[in-house]
Amino acid sequence: MATRAVDRRARPRMRPVRPARVVVYGFAAAILIGTGVLMLPLSSRTGAWTNPVDALFTATSAICVTGLTTLDTATHWSGFGQAAILVMIQLGGLGIMIFATLLGLILARRFTVRRRITAIAESSTLDRSDVRGAIRRVALTSLVIEAIVFALLLPRFALAYDHDVWLATWHALFHSVSAFNNAGFALYSDNLIGFAADPWICLPLCAAIILGGLGFPVLHELRRQFSWPRRWSMNTRLVLVVSAALLVVGTIYITAGEWSNPATLGAYSPGERVLIGFFHSVQTRTAGFNSVDIGLMAEHTRIGMDVLMFIGGGPGGTAGGIKVTTFAVLAFVLLAELRGERVVNIFRKQLAPEVMRQALTVALIAVAAVVTGTIALMVIADLGLDAALFESVSAFATVGLTTGITPGLGAPAKLVLVLLMFLGRLGPLTLGTAIALRERKELFEYPKERPAVG
């Protein structure tokens, strides 16, 4: 018995697997595999090998569901290459939703009994013991929404644009998957400029983008308790209210800013201008389709789009950015501070202090990443501030909108954007999780002092 006890103690203890590392390694491996596939002659229309940097850029953009491209998706890639991109988009979108859900389950198990009960009552989204069920629900939700959008797009492509059945089916499938996953890849050289005034194409895509950007926890809670808004969690209320407000503000801002610009909205009728303004307000939620040339927009319009892209969509979904909940938390903290309130209350509930710190940390690190990327592009690619900032925010927030400069960038600048896409897709999620998992109780406190602020 003693020998067995000694042997058991002598065994080396396995280091616990950190969820954030699993996510990072998994996405990095998928990007490398995707790069290898896209480099193959089979993936290009010409049958030639694709440049490794361009293949890496496209694979990263697809897996991170960004939409920035250095090569024309419609003309460079073969049917096999386009199918590979579609698979990467689907895996990237599902992967981030599943990982976000599972990380939420892990965080729930780190709570004390009292906090865990409160969290379950607040979220009402998942059975904490049913991991397989959670994954199944995420996949089923994604496929159902994509199927509905596909069914709406198919007859329009077939009847209004003279596509044969196969081409209409392929385009409807590709764009429905790209839209729900907030990827922004399109099978047309001008993206969706040819459909700018077509609500039968633009609105289904917008609906898919919005639903994908809300996040699975919100969709799941709405499905279960749609008729009881008072039971919705703080997360669901924040995502819905802030998302709706940003969509409205973005539509008004873009439409008003470009109303008389003949190169963008000015060439369309008033109703079509509103449609295009709404469409691009949705795209700034990290989707990346465009129905007018972004490079021809006014600089002040693009600056407003920078802000919308940086905020992004809801947590646990296919959208990027710092997330609307992070933005909302910081806004309520600011409001409480201006009012002189000691605590932050949202929807008649008190916000936990650690959430404020986490939101501030995520936001400041995101700002640092965007600023660093912008400076790097200005130095490496000799870009102006407007173009460099727009491209950096678009990459970090995994949006995919561009002023048109991406294909002409050199390899070093492309690698900067690759790094920004990777950090932007995984950074806020893994950083927030890592902060929460490392939270520990201090055994002592230092004396308090108040430095001058402002």
Helix (H) or strand (E) holding 256: helix 234-258
φ, ψ for residue 225, nearest 5 deg: -135, 40
d(C-alpha 291, C-alpha 184), whole Å? 11
Q: Which residue has the tokens 């960004």?
A: 66
Cα(443)–Cα(42) distance, integer angstroms = 61
Task: Considering only residues 333 and 444, tell me which one the structure prediction assigns the higher pLDDT.
Answer: 333
**Counting runs of H as helices and runs of E as strands, what totals does the chain give?**
16, 2
347 contact partners, CB below 8 Å, separation of at least 6: 234, 237
Q: How confident is the model at residue 433 (pLDDT cuts 50, 70, 90)?
A: low
pLDDT digits (tens, 9 = 90+) for 271-286: 999 999 999 999 998 8
Burial call 346-365: b when 16+ CB within 10 Å, e when fewer: beeeebeeebbebbeebbee
Instruction: Say which amino acid occupies 326.
Output: T
Task: Using a pLDDT cut of 90, give the percent of the chain over it.
Answer: 60
The better pLDDT of the pair 126, 454 is held by 454
Residue 397, CB-side half-sphere exposure with 13 Å CA sphere? 36
Q: Radius of gyration (Cα) for the chain, nearest Å? A: 23
What residue segments make up the domains of the chain, in order of their start?
18-436
The SS3 of residue 53 is helix
In DSSP notation, 410-451 reads -HHHHHHHHHHHHHHHHHHHHHHHHHHHT----S--PPP---
- Dihedral sign, CA of 365, 371, 373, 379? negative
> Residue 114 in 3-state DSSP?
helix
pLDDT at 119: 41
Q: Are 85 and 77 contacting, i.e. CB atoms less than 8 angstroms apart?
A: yes
Contacts of 163 (CB under 8 A, 6+ apart): 157, 171
Measure the N-to-C terminal CA separation of the chain; round to a whole number of Å: 68
pLDDT by residue (tens digit) across 166-181? 999 999 999 999 999 9
Q: Report pLDDT for 176.
A: 96
Query: What angle in degrees, to the nearest 10, is found between the helix axes of 79-110 and 165-180?
Result: 30
Which residue is listed with tokens 């693009």? 302
Q: What is the DSSP string of 335-403?
A: HHHHHT-SS-EETTEEPPHHHHHHHHHHHHHHHHHHHHHHHHHHHHS---HHHHHHHHHHHHTT-----
Interval 130-188: pLDDT, tens? 567 777 888 898 999 999 999 999 999 999 998 999 999 999 999 999 999 999 899 99
- Whether residue 107 is predicted with pLDDT greater than 60 in this model: the reply is no
